């Protein structure tokens, strides 16, 4: 590498390093240091607390059970839609990823309206069978796993479907020709080749479940998990204990990451084939009818939460009490959102904070990805760790770390007072989006032959011209995909809001929670519908932009 290129790489790397150390590494160090501010006193308090021990064990149990439940749904569904052709397959495939369009809190609300103790399905069954009380209570560990399975099976389905699309079916045929049974082909051929996809999806479900806050908060029914326990300790003024709980949660996530990576390395298989996505047509009339009925039921189950939120958004606040369905409907919930300044403010807050955070993500992560993929300099591995670190740390831990760091003005310790201001939430969204955006951009840049950049420079192009004409076009798909993911995550973010919001900068998710507490179900659902529409609008805008640029 030329000396000028090395100097330029360092000039780019130094500010990125400084920013990431300040916003990503420093808050985590502050939390760990805070857990030891009383020596081992706070750690002894954690170990001696039955509530904290319960929260740790329950968090791990729920996460592992969520992995199993997501596999039980996602793997068969991926095989069914990738390997077989039957009536209703296209419709089912179109709605299979719908749960991913529900922001976490909105999905929880939909389940509350449908399957809660006073939910539509629950009351309908109670009325149908003339039961004196609700047939179930959607609370506790089973309820949380139920909600997680619905919202997180999508990760397994997408990963395994992608693996099956690349799977060479001639391997199956060869094994069959050698006398292998269906079970043997699945066990010794298909599943080993799907190990990377399975391990990746299992890791994603485990990490997401471990840091989940919405479902335990709404459906916990008194049980404790670390994510909710951290917030409870902070609200009670036990900051030292909250720091210990945050550290334990982060260590649990890192341990889970190491375990799944070990499992992935332990069973590594490759295929030399190009892959073929052939599907077996179901010809039996009975099997076709059964598949069509099953597909119809599945579609209804998947679409019902979305439809329920839309329906309740037209319900009159305060009138839906003991009835199975809302008794009265109105458009006032939507009129109030767009006419009352106090209700409109959370919408503008969420949009402005998401735009600010995503813009910062695109700039910082593009430079970081460019340095990681196309430049060679000392510290490149450290930069890779810094951009990946927020992915390994649950959102609650990130939020508390920021609260512990940016709580006062102190230039000697590089602290700035952001807690209680508008800017603390965009900063939290920015940190959460770093691994999403950087990974997407890295994936695009890795497809660029470094010789093209050298050739452009050799033909007399300046560094900026080469960047604009060669590197940026190559990175564009990753910029669009990563920016979309970051924006969608930011606009529906709930966990960071619980820890860091103030009334002035409250986002949509916190206003939804406030309306639920006030039993204004219609207004809360109207906000939820608006949040879903924002997510869809962002997705369509990103795709349209990408198509025009292409």
Instruction: State pLDDT tens for residues 159-186.
Output: 888 777 755 555 555 655 555 655 566 6
Write the pLDDT tens digit of every residue in 381-409: 888 888 988 887 888 889 999 998 998 99
How does pLDDT run across 204-218, given as a tens digit for each residue? Answer: 899 889 988 889 988
Neighbours of 170 (CB within 10 A): 14
Tens digit of each residue's pLDDT (9 = 90 or more) over 8-39: 777 888 899 999 999 999 998 989 998 998 88
Residue 212 parent element (H or E): none
Q: Residue 280: what are its φ and ψ, rounded to 5°? A: -90, 125
Comparing 239 with 545, the larger pLDDT belongs to: 239
Q: Which two tokens stand for residue 211?
A: 């840091």
Among residues 415, 423, 446, the alpha carbon closest in space to that of 360 is found at 423
Looking at residue 272, its pLDDT comes to 46
Determine the Cα–Cα distance for residues 425 and 25; give it in Å rounded to an integer: 17
Q: Do domains 1-29+337-489 and 49-276 have the same CATH topology?
A: yes
Residue 377: left (phi > 0), alpha (psi -120 to 50), or beta? beta
Q: Which DSSP helix (H) or strand (E) runs through 102?
A: none
User: Which residues, in sequence order, are bridge partners of residue 85?
Assistant: 281
Domain ranges of the chain: 1-29+337-489, 49-276
* Residue 499 near residue 399 (C-beta atoms within 8 A): yes
399 close to 29: Cβ distance less than 8 angstroms: no
pLDDT for residue 395: 87
Burial status of residue 475 (CB atoms within 10 A of its CB: 0-12, 13-18, 19 or more) = buried
Taking a C-beta distance cutoff of 8 angstroms, is the pair 96, 77 a contact?
yes
3-class SS letters over 34-54: HHCCCCCHHHHHHHHCHHHHH
Its pTM surpasses 0.75: yes
**CA terminus-to-terminus distance, the chain:** 32
* Run of H or E including 291: helix 285-312
Which DSSP symbol is given to 282?
A: P
Of the options 1.10.240.10, 3.40.50.300, 1.10.3720.10, 2.60.40.10, the CATH number for the domain spanning 1-29+337-489: 1.10.3720.10
Reply yes or no on whether the pLDDT at 350 is more than 90. yes
Task: Give, in words, the CATH class of 49-276.
Answer: mainly alpha
pLDDT tens-digit map of 412-436: 888 999 998 999 999 999 999 998 8
CB 297 within 8 A of CB 95: no
pLDDT of residue 177: 58
């Amino acid at each position: 590498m030329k000396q000028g290129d090395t100097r330029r790489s360092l000039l780019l790397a130094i500010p990125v390093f400084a920013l990431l150390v300040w916003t990503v590494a420093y808050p985590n160090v502050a939390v760990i240091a805070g857990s030891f501010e009383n020596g081992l006193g706070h750690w002894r308090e954690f170990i001696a607390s039955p509530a904290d021990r319960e929260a740790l064990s329950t968090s791990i149990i729920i996460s592992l059970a969520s992995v199993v439940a997501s596999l039980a749904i996602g793997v068969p569904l991926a095989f069914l839609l990738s390997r077989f052709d039957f009536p209703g397959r296209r419709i089912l495939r179109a709605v299979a990823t719908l749960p991913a369009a529900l922001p976490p809190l909105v999905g929880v609300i939909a389940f509350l309206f449908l399957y809660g103790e006073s939910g539509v399905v629950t009351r309908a069954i109670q009325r149908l069978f003339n039961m004196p009380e609700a047939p179930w209570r959607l609370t506790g560990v089973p309820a949380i796993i139920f909600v997680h399975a619905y919202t997180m099976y999508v990760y397994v389905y997408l990963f395994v479907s992608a693996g099956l699309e690349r799977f060479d079916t001639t391997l199956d045929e060869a094994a069959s020709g050698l006398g292998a049974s269906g079970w043997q082909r699945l066990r010794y051929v298909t599943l080993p080749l799907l190990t990377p996809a399975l391990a990746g999806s299992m890791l994603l479900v485990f990490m997401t479940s471990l840091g989940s806050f919405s479902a335990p908060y709404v459906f916990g029914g008194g049980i404790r998990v670390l994510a909710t326990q951290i917030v409870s300790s902070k609200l009670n003024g036990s900051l030292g204990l909250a720091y210990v709980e945050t550290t334990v949660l982060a260590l649990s996530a890192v341990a889970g990451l190491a375990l799944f990576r070990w499992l992935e390395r332990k069973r590594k298989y490759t295929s030399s084939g190009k892959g073929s996505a052939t599907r077996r047509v179901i010809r039996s009339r009975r099997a076709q009818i059964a598949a069509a009925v099953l597909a119809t039921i599945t579609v209804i189950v998947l679409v019902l939460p979305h439809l329920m939120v839309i329906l309740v958004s037209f319900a009159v606040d305060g009138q839906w009490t003991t009835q199975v369905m809302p008794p009265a409907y109105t458009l006032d919930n939507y009129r109030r959102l767009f006419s009352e300044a106090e209700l409109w403010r959370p919408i503008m807050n969420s949009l402005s904070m998401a735009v600010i955070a995503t813009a910062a993500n695109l700039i910082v992560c593009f430079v970081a990805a460019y340095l990681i993929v196309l430049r060679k300099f000392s510290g490149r591995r450290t930069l890779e760790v810094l951009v990946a670190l927020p992915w390994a740390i649950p959102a609650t831990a990130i939020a508390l770390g920021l609260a512990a760091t940016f709580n006062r003005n102190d230039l000697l310790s590089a602290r700035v007072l952001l807690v209680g201001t508008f800017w603390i939430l965009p900063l939290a969204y920015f940190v959460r989006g770093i691994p999403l955006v950087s990974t997407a951009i890295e994936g695009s840049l890795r497809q660029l032959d470094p010789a093209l950049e050298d050739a452009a420079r050799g033909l007399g192009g300046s560094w900026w011209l080469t960047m604009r004409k060669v590197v940026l076009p190559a990175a564009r798909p990753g910029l669009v995909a990563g920016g979309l993911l970051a924006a969608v995550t930011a606009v529906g973010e709930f966990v960071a809001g619980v820890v860091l919001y103030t009334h002035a900068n409250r986002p949509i998710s916190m206003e939804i929670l406030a309306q639920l507490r006030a039993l204004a179900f219609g207004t809360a659902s109207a906000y939820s519908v608006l949040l879903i529409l924002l997510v869809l609008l962002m997705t369509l805008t990103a795709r349209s932009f990408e198509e025009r640029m292409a």
